[in-house]
Amino acid sequence: MKVLITGGMGVIGAETSRKFVNEGHRPVVMARHRDDRLIDDIVDNIDFEAGDILDWPRLLEIIKKHKVTHIVHAAAFVGAVSASNPALSIQVNVMGMVNVLEAARAFDIRRVVYTSAKGIYGPVLGEYGPPHYKPIPEDAPKNPQRIYDSAKLMGEQTGIYYANNMGVDVAIIRFATTYGPGKTARHGKMGVTSQIVENPFHGLPFHHPAGGDAKDDFIYNKDSAAGIYLATVADKVPSRVYNIGSGVAHSLNDFADVLRKKIPGADIKIGPGTNFLGMPYPPHGVYDVSRARTELGFTAQYDIERAIGDYLDSLKRMQARGI
Ligand SMILES: NC(=O)c1ccc[n+]([C@@H]2O[C@H](COP(=O)([O-])OP(=O)(O)OC[C@H]3O[C@@H](n4cnc5c(N)ncnc54)[C@H](O)[C@@H]3O)[C@@H](O)[C@H]2O)c1
């Protein structure tokens, strides 16, 4: 098995590259620019290839050169820059997937694993929303609100189309709310789940105006990477689409409790309410992860206590290396 990981130096991409290395593989990591900061411990165990996912001939060249058999497609145009540039968001996030699928078709790639997002479900309403938080199954209604989320859903549906009509084996992974080290290095301004860990680590306060009552499904990035790995190596992916989450409801206040234990004196204050992202609709909810458990053998290994401990250890290591 030879796996190509597009975007394999990104936040989740780097954990995925590390997971494959730890499992004894030598992945080919493709990215537009080389930036080893999140994979400096494994650089000798990967092959780097520079390339843009929109450059189809280059993608074919890389697959041919390394005799790639499986593709994890984790390259994406994410975040606020994606929201302010819908055309490029659609190009990279949809046409990038089409390029991967066409390459898979041309080279008889054995499986393509596509990394999708919780935002494809859109507003979390009714029994899935507060205060019920019934676990959200994969076939819950989809109503993406942001261009990135719409593009990710189109990427998914394109994958399913190729699976049903073009003979390409595709697995789709929908992450819950992800967290873990590396977002600062990659994305600059940190998300709430990064700030609540990183501010106390740096001796800074974390005061968040709202959302202390929101329940959400937080998945640590090492678990996200494990989900990708299992979807890649599984003999079969009968349902094709899998929620990858912890399946457990937690609040930011639960994070705060863990952090106060690990960093005595941590100054954390979270206001009330059920929306800590400040989005114009309820974005929080908990995943039904029974399908991933049954079909992929996936269970999250990092509860918030273990994950935050690992996160803080990683921050110490990154600080020592000047990252
Ligand atoms: N991090 C999250 O919270 C999260 C949540 C849900 C889903 N996802 C999905 O998981 C995947 C990985 O996310 P991540 O956190 O590692 O993102 P990231 O932004 O850290 O990494 C994405 C990588 O893709 C690369 N990339 C962007 N455009 C490219 C192009 N045109 N050609 C080649 N490479 C390109 C970037 O250079 C970057 O290294 C993405 O598909 C993302 O949509 C992430």
Q: Per-residue pLDDT tens for 295-312?
A: 999 999 999 999 999 999
Q: Is the pTM of this model over 0.85?
A: yes
Q: Does residue 254 belong to any structural domain of this protein?
A: no
- State which ligand 1 atom lies nearest to the alpha carbon of 175: 6
**How does the average pLDDT of the chain come out, rounded?**
95
Confidence of residue 189 (pLDDT cuts 50, 70, 90): low
Whether residue 184 has pLDDT greater than 70: no
DSSP 158-224: HHHHHHHHS---EEEEEE-EEE-TTHHHHHSSPPHHHHHHHHHHTT--EEESS-TT--B-EEEHHHH
Nearest CA to ligand 1 atom 3: 178
Which pLDDT does position 42 carry in this prediction? 96
Nearest CA to ligand 1 atom 26: 75
Sign of the Cα torsion 159, 290, 10, 45 reads negative
The range of the structural domain enclosing residue 20 comes to: 3-178+219-247+285-302
The preferred substitution site among 9, 77, 78, 150 for testing ligand 1, maximizing ligand atoms within 8 Å of CB, is 78
Q: Does residue 183 belong to any structural domain of this protein?
A: no
- What's 108's domain CATH number? 3.40.50.720
Q: Does residue 238 belong to any structural domain of this protein?
A: yes
92 touches ligand 1 (CB under 6 Å): yes
CB-based burial of residue 165 (10 Å sphere; 0-12 exposed, 13-18 middle, 19+ buried)? exposed
178 touches ligand 1 (CB under 6 Å): yes
The preferred substitution site among 12, 113, 228 for testing ligand 1, maximizing ligand atoms within 8 Å of CB, is 12
12 touches ligand 1 (CB under 6 Å): yes
CA of 132 to the centre of ligand 1 (A): 32
Q: Does residue 202 belong to any structural domain of this protein?
A: no
Q: Domain count of the chain?
A: 1
Q: Does residue 194 belong to any structural domain of this protein?
A: no
36 touches ligand 1 (CB under 6 Å): no
CA of 77 to the centre of ligand 1 (A): 6
Q: Does residue 115 belong to any structural domain of this protein?
A: yes
Whole-angstrom Cα Rg for the chain: 19
Q: Per-residue pLDDT tens for 71-87?
A: 999 999 987 788 889 99
Q: Does residue 309 belong to any structural domain of this protein?
A: no
Q: Per-residue pLDDT tens for 2-22?
A: 999 999 999 999 999 999 999
Which pLDDT does position 112 carry in this prediction? 98
Whether residue 205 has pLDDT greater than 80: yes
117 touches ligand 1 (CB under 6 Å): yes
The least confident of 224-228, 279-283, 286-290 is 279-283
Peptide bond into 131 cis (omega under 30): yes
